[in-house]
Amino acid sequence: MLGASIGRGAMRIIDSMVRGLASAGVSPNILTTVGVSINVFCGVLFGMGEFFWAGVVLIIANLFDMLDGNVARLTGNVTKFGGFLDSSLDRLSDMVVFVGIMMFYAGNSPQHSILNVFLAGVGMVGSVMVSYTTARSEGLGVKANVGFLQRPERIVLLIIGALSTWDWNSNFFLFNRMPQVLWVLAVGSIWTLIHRMYFIWEEFKKLEGASPE
């Protein structure tokens, strides 16, 4: 009940922002570009070890990610290039965040961890490949939005990991959760990729079986 009320309140705020931006004539492509720029800043914060503030910035960046498409639909300014730009910059946004995390754990600091660098790298590769398989299969006629760890879930996990990682010297169980989040992202992304590949394979078999010789 409370969660639904919060969700409705958040949607009212977003709808108001969308209407305001549409009335001001702001281009959806500008919002997309601003969003990826904020994500780059988020990656820099991760690289500096400012995980908590990186999580805050990540929330703001993904607010822009929600706004651009809604503004485009409200203004009737939906274009093929806009969809291409949004999809392409989403991949860039995903990668810069992971690169920032990898740089931090690869650095000469008490938190140095080759394992965490590896997990972030696997998470990045898995995330990009999950998105690529979707785009490629849709281009061939198969819609494949399956798997439990898609982009919204990955972003939520990164935000949770970032906001719960701000006191490096604390042993409290709610602090410094990013390493655990990286395990979930790495394993979950690869599992989702395998699931999606298998699903696409089955769908193509059905299409080929239904096609006349």
Domains of the chain (ranges, CATH numbers): 2-210 (1.20.120.1760)
Q: Where are the alpha helices (DSSP H) in 76-177?
A: 80-106, 114-139, 151-163
Handedness of CA 56, 60, 63, 68 (dihedral sign): negative
The per-residue pLDDT for range 95-132, each reduced to its tens digit, is 999 999 999 999 888 888 999 999 999 999 999 999 88
d(CA 81, CA 73): 14
> With bands split at pLDDT 50, 70 and 90, how would you rate the model's confidence at 8?
low
Residue 35's closest CA among 61, 57, 67?
A: 61
Q: pTM here?
A: 0.85
What SS3 state is found at 148?
A: coil
pLDDT at residue number 168: 67
Residue 85 corresponds to which amino acid? Answer: L
What are the tens digits of pLDDT across the range 135-183?
A: 888 877 888 888 788 888 899 999 999 998 876 666 666 677 899 999 9
